[in-house]
Amino acid sequence: MARTLAPDRVVPLLTGRFGSPYLHRLACTSTQRLLQPGLPEGAVAVCEEQTAGRGRLGRTWTAPAGAAVLCSILLRPPPGRQAAELSLVGGLAVAEVVEEALGAPAGLKWPNDVLVSGRKLAGILAESVSGAVALGVGLNVNQAEGDLPPDARTPPASMRTVDGVARDRAPLLAALLASLERAYDTWGELGLAGLHAEIARRDVLAGRRVRVGELAGIAAGIDAAGALVLDTPSGRRAVISGEVSVSALDAP
Ligand code: BTN
């Protein structure tokens, strides 16, 4: 397989704490499963192909071998920080890397999707592992249109379907780990407040009519705790988890 994410291609590009140790497999069930709790913070698991990739809410996550960045990072949030906020922290880090690579704006669809032109380019999954957090990132890079899942709730995209460019994933992964480390350190120090402006300006739901479970209303932003704020007929409500339904999303 050409241009893999093998350690000899990625580790020399790493500039920070994240990626040590760097675990790489050609195939695995899910990178989320490769992170053993005894590993240090910043351990990263990567594979070329997942046979049982996991999405949010029990969904699956699929990508052809060698086409996407599929990775999980082991994190140990400092006391007082809410691990649930890490989906937004990860989403922001991915959005920044995507914007730099594509030269186009990326949006965040609360709580865990990264969109370009209304299509989902990446998803983030935060799961607990014996008191730590495995933060999984699936970023679609080189898939052709026909490689993307036909039944996704939000129409999917890859970086290649956006701009026609096939990319080496190694520098993208290195940039992603650096971006995530920056965002994570800011969050550790200041909480979501330290990232709020950057998250808010990418919030694709703000001002839109949405539904989360039984609640329907106008999305009024993401609050300091990472909750989705909804203006409903019975007043302002903060939603801490759930699946957002929204009619077709405009760019980004
Ligand atoms: C979602 O949007 O539902 C979250 C998708 C997260 C997918 C990534 S791919 C790498 C890591 N391993 C998994 O099994 N899932 C996450």
Nearest atom of ligand 1 to the alpha carbon of 30? 14
Give the contacts of 31 (CB within 8 A, at least 6 positions apart): 45, 46, 47, 50, 70, 71, 72, 136
pTM above the 0.85 mark? yes
Distance in angstroms (rounded) separating the CA atoms of residues 98 and 139: 9
CA of 97 to the centre of ligand 1 (A): 17
* 218: its two tokens: 């106008």
Taking CA atoms only, the protein residue closest to ligand 1 atom 10 is 70
| Run means of pLDDT, 10 residues per run, the chain, 252 residues | 90 98 98 95 98 94 97 96 95 98 97 96 96 97 96 93 98 98 98 96 96 93 94 94 75 55
- Give 225-251 pLDDT, tens digit per residue: 999 999 999 999 999 988 898 865 555
Is residue 203 helix, strand or coil?
A: strand
Phi, psi of 119 (to 5 degrees): -115, 145
Contact 88, 145 (CB under 8 A): no
Under DSSP, the state recorded for 60 is: B
Q: Residue 140: CB within 6 Å of ligand 1?
A: no
Does residue 234 contact residue 200 with C-beta atoms inside 8 Å?
no
Ligand 1 atom 9: the closest Cα is on which residue? 138
Q: Which of 70, 88, 169 to mutate to test the pocket of ligand 1 (most atoms within 8 A of CB)?
A: 70
Burial 162-174 (b: 16+ CB within 10 A, else e): beeeebebbebbb
Hey, what amino acid is at 171?
P
How far apart CA 203 and CA 220 sit, in angstroms, is: 10
**CA-to-CA distance for 11 and 224, rounded, in angstroms?**
35
pLDDT given at position 241? 87
| Alpha carbon nearest to ligand 1 atom 2, residue | 123
Q: Determine the Cα–Cα distance for residues 81 and 90; give it in Å rounded to an integer.
A: 15
**Residue 2's pLDDT is what?**
63
Nearest ligand 1 atom to the CA of 68 is: 9
Strand partners, 84: none
Residue nearest atom 3 in ligand 1 by C-alpha distance: 55
Task: State the average pLDDT for the chain.
Answer: 95
Which tens digits make up the pLDDT trace of 21-64? 999 999 999 999 999 989 999 999 999 999 999 999 899 999 99
Quick one: which atom of ligand 1 is closest to the CA of 71? 10
